[in-house]
Amino acid sequence: MSTLNNEYAHAVAIIGAGPAGIYAADFLASNGVKVALINRDIKPGGLA
């Protein structure tokens, strides 16, 4: 079992890998923010 340190693994979690979620994740990551992109489906793209 791995141990956790006091640092967070991600600074932001984005729920949904549709166009807006992908754009937001890309923008934040490009600016040095650690991002977790969480999606219900295997493929990104959304447009529910």
Domain ranges of the chain: 12-48
Find the radius of gyration of the CA atoms of the chain: 13
pLDDT at 6 over 60: no
Global pTM reads 0.72
Q: Which residues contact 48 (CB under 8 A, 6 or more apart)?
A: 18
Count Cβ atoms below 10 Å from residue 16 Cβ, excluding itself: 18
pLDDT-derived band at 5 (thresholds 50, 70, 90) equals low
For residue 41, the model assigns a pLDDT of 86
pLDDT in tens, 22-47: 999 999 999 999 999 999 988 888 77
